[in-house]
Each structure stands twice: as structure tokens, then as C-alpha cells.
Amino acid sequence: MVVWAKDDEGVVRGFILERGMKGLATSKIEGKFSVRASPTGQILMDDVFVPESQRLPDARGIAAPFACLNNARFGICWGAMGAAEFCWHAARQYVLDRKQFGRPLAANQLVQKKLADMQTEIALGLLACLQVSRLRDAGAASSEMVSLLKRNCAGKSLEIARLARDMHGGNGISDEYHVIRHLMNMETVNTLEGTHDIHALVLGRAQTGLSAFAN
């Protein structure tokens, strides 16, 4: 595993740690309701000695971990849109199949409006992800672009998952349809790799030139 920490000079550096090192413990976090497929754990260190050979030579300063973080944030944008697409397709199929008062739920105006809203947000999100992907390939993407995407894609996907759960009625909490699984996962994704509000501060700083992180 890679751990970012300050060295004796107070400079952030990257260190490679291996299980079995003296003083290092990694315990699994149990009882999660969300992102259950992802192994999440605690890292406990007590006077762990790391040899020079396991220090990342070119990673120096806060920019190094931020570069890793930015890549992770960008990947999340695509994943969030994938979850949103699943929920949209599941909701569409459900309201077509579910009959009430002699006709499918999909025949109601409000239901069609919800489907149109889902489709619109997903299309815009995917197009934005694609454009920033192209800019990243060209070396022209900024970290603020990634913050904008992560904030919007995660937030919109969470809204779509909630809407899909609602459109499934009581069945929305059943594992038969899996919408609730995506909803619970998106509650976490909206928080990890920078919360909705933190990315707002990143964008605010870019617009105004003033940092509000410490206020």
C-alpha cells in the first residue's frame, strides 16, 4: 500500500508499506451498508520503519497525492454515470411492466417527465465526461474541470437513484431490482474523493481567486 506522510523536513512524501511490517496493522471495517463489494479497512501504524528503498523517489510535496486523488475523482465520474444509467433503465422497464388501473405506470405524464429528466442529466453527464477525457488526453484538462464533473456527476446520479427508487414504489427497497443498492452506494460516492461542498470550494476559489477552505 502507498501511504502519504511528512518526512523529517516536513515535506509530504510517498511510502510503500507492506503487510507484515512490524508495527503495521490493517483491519477490515465491517458492517457497511454501502460499497460492500469494496474492501475498506483501517491502517494503524506504531513506529513502523520504512527503508529508503520503499520511498517513492519522484513524489515530493502535496502535488503528488493530489495527482492520484484527481485521477480517482475522474474515474468516479464515469462510474457514477454508469450507476445512474442502470437506475434509469430499471425505472423505465418497471413503469412499463407495472400496471395500475388498466394501464402501465409509464402512461402517466409525471412518470414520463421523470424519465425525461433522468435521460437528460445522464446524457449531459456522459458528454461532459467524454469531453474532459479528450482534454486530459491532450494535456489540456484542469483539476477544476474534474471537481466540476465529480460534484455534478455524483450529485445527479444520487438524485436519479433516489428517483428510480421512488418510481419502483415499495419494490424499490427489494434486492430483486437492485436500485436500492445503487442508491446506497451513491450516498457514499457523493462523499468520498471530496464532498459536494469541498468541490464547490475548489470551483469558488477558481472563480474568485480567494480560498475559503479555512473559513
Same domain membership, residue 189 and residue 134:
yes
Boundary of a domain, candidates 44, 60, 76 = 60
CB-based contact 165:183 (threshold 8 Å): yes
Boundary of a domain, candidates 60, 80, 108 = 60
Beta strand ranges found along 7-160 (DSSP E): 12-16, 24-28, 41-45, 55-60, 99-100, 103-104
The model carries a pTM of 0.88
Instruction: Judge whether 184 lies within some domain.
Output: yes
pLDDT of residue 107: 98
The half-sphere exposure of 27 on its side-chain side, counting CA atoms within 13 A, is 6
**Tens-place pLDDT, residues 175-214:** 999 999 999 999 999 999 899 999 999 999 999 999 998 8
Q: Identify the CATH number of the domain in which residue 51 sits.
A: 2.40.110.10
**Tens-place pLDDT, residues 25-42:** 999 899 999 998 888 889
Strands 12-16 and 24-28: unpaired
pLDDT of residue 181: 96
Residue of 9, 121, 187, 193 with catalytic role: 193
CB-based contact 94:167 (threshold 8 Å): yes
- As given in the structure block, the three cell numbers for residue 106 are 409509464
pLDDT of residue 173: 95
Same domain membership, residue 67 and residue 54:
no
Position 64 confidence tier, pLDDT thresholds 50, 70, 90: confident
pLDDT of residue 195: 93
- As given in the structure block, the three cell numbers for residue 32 are 457497511
Q: Which domain holds residue 135?
A: 63-208
- Which residue type is seen at 47? D
Same domain membership, residue 142 and residue 50:
no
Residue 215 has pLDDT above 80, yes or no: no
Q: What is the DSSP string of 60-84?
A: ESTHHHHHHHHHHHHHHHHHHHHHH
Instruction: Judge whether 155 lies within some domain.
Output: yes
**Tens-place pLDDT, residues 93-142:** 999 999 999 999 999 999 999 999 999 999 999 999 999 999 999 999 99
Instruction: Judge whether 215 lies within some domain.
Output: no
Boundary of a domain, candidates 25, 45, 60 = 60
Residue 8 has pLDDT above 90, yes or no: no
pLDDT of residue 59: 83
Q: What is the mean pLDDT of residues 43-58?
A: 91
Same domain membership, residue 123 and residue 155:
yes
Same domain membership, residue 11 and residue 45:
yes
> Residue 3 is inside which H or E element, if any?
strand 2-6
Q: Identify the CATH number of the domain in which residue 114 sits.
A: 1.20.140.10
Task: Note if 187 is an active site residue.
Answer: no
How many structural domains is the chain composed of? Answer: 2
Same domain membership, residue 87 and residue 32:
no
Backbone φ and ψ of 41, nearest 5°: -145, 175
Q: What is the mean pLDDT of residues 75-84?
A: 97
Same domain membership, residue 117 and residue 79:
yes
In 3D space, the residue among 182, 34, 38 whose CA is nearest the CA of residue 118 turns out to be 182
Same domain membership, residue 76 and residue 143:
yes
- As given in the structure block, the three cell numbers for residue 141 are 484538462
